[in-house]
Amino acid sequence: MVQQNAQVLWNEKVGPSYYRIGIDCRYGYTHVKPGQFVMVRVSGGIDPLLRRPFSIHKPIVRNDRIVGVELLYKVVGKGTRILSGLQQGRHVDILGPLGSAFLLPENAHRIFIVAGGIGVAPLVFLASHLVQSGIDPADCVVFLGGRTKADLLCIDDFKNLHLAVHSSTDDGSAGDQCLVTVPVEFAVADDRPDMIYACGPEEMLKCVVGIARARSIPCQLSIETRMACGMGACLGCAVAAEDMPGRYYHACLDGPVFDSQSIHLED
Ligand SMILES: Cc1cc2nc3c(=O)[nH]c(=O)nc-3n(C[C@H](O)[C@H](O)[C@H](O)COP(=O)(O)OP(=O)(O)OC[C@H]3O[C@@H](n4cnc5c(N)ncnc54)[C@H](O)[C@@H]3O)c2cc1C
Ligand code: FES
């Protein structure tokens, strides 16, 4: 993990409140893995004081070397609003890579990837890693859910990897009009996957965990608990441990990617 003052390479609007920012991180990212995240200080001053966590959306590769990271983010408050205003050439303080990564399953062939809204951010890197690792794209299905058509991101990224994409929206403006977990449940019953990866709102994750548990399907989740330090110092990111009753994990150190059997998502 490295802290560096890194240059913004691009910061483009890709939807009503969505942006992609490329950051030129020279050091420390050679072995970055899908699921890991960074903490970004969006302002040079004290407001906001705390860094904000973002999943690594894509590594930036030049001459076969990882020289930076791209983040995909949604503007939801002060920090992300400031981030969206950073122009190319400006510098940001970035700490990373942090946290655990998605584990590639041994002997797994059929894979489901389930993304809710901005939860898609780490899953594009994961999908590309799976394909590079030899998973047949024909055995991998992506389920993308969003409130509206504008919240369905990265469809082309997955299609460029030759993965099938199943879209759904709450309002029916694109794909099926239903929660993303509805087609997941049908597809699981039809042709059981060997692994489910998911990232998105907590309610979606709870439902995915229920589907996976009912059929004993291995499942890994990236969770987006609020974080203050990202390094295990503030205890602000506690997640109840399912496998150690009465104990807690740090989402920043032990996660953000967890085996679904090891954590208890609060009701
Ligand atoms: C490991 C990890 C990876 C993340 N990856 C991404 C990513 O790739 N792209 C992205 O857009 N966001 C990601 N997030 C969420 C992102 O960190 C927050 O949206 C951001 O910190 C909000 O900062 P803000 O100052 O703009 O909003 P704030 O002013 O802090 O909050 C604005 C609103 O957003 C809500 N909010 C803030 N943080 C979270 C959170 N973690 N989960 C749910 N609601 C929250 C607040 O409750 C409030 O309603 C990630 C979070 C974690 C922990
Ligand atoms: S964010 Fe501070 S301990 Fe995890």
pLDDT tens figures, 20-70: 999 999 889 999 999 999 999 998 777 888 899 999 999 999 999 999 999
Quick one: tokens of 131?
A: 């394909």
33 phi/psi in degrees, rounded to 5: -125, 155
Residue of the nearest CA to atom 5 in ligand 1?
A: 54
- C-alpha gyration radius of the chain: 18
**Is the beta carbon of 35 within 6 A of some atom in ligand 1?**
no
The angle subtended at Cα 217 by Cα 263 and Cα 140, nearest 5°, is 110
Run of H or E including 234:
none
Report the run of H or E that residue 259 belongs to, with start and end: strand 257-259
User: What whole-number distance in Å separates Cα of residue 186 and Cα of residue 183?
Assistant: 5
pLDDT value at residue 46: 77
> Distance (Å, rounded) from C-alpha 21 to C-alpha 138?
30
Check pLDDT > 80 for residue 80. Answer: yes
Cut 0.85: pTM above it = yes
Q: SS3 for 239? A: strand
Taken in order of first residue, the domains within the chain and their CATH numbers are 2-98 (2.40.30.10), 111-259 (3.40.50.80)
Closest CA to 198 of 160, 146, 243, 144: 144
Query: Helix and strand tally (H, E) in the chain?
Result: 5, 16
Is the bond preceding residue 256 a cis peptide, omega within 30 degrees? yes
Q: Is 225 in the pocket of ligand 2 (CB under 6 A)?
A: no
Count of CB atoms situated within 10 Å of the CB of 262? 16
Closest-lying ligand to the alpha carbon of 251? 2
Q: Which two tokens stand for residue 251?
A: 């989402």
Residue with the smallest CA separation from ligand 2 atom 3 is: 232
- Ligand sitting nearest the alpha carbon of 121: 1
Whether 43 lines ligand 1, by a CB cut-off of 6 Å, is no
**pLDDT at 104 > cutoff 90:** no
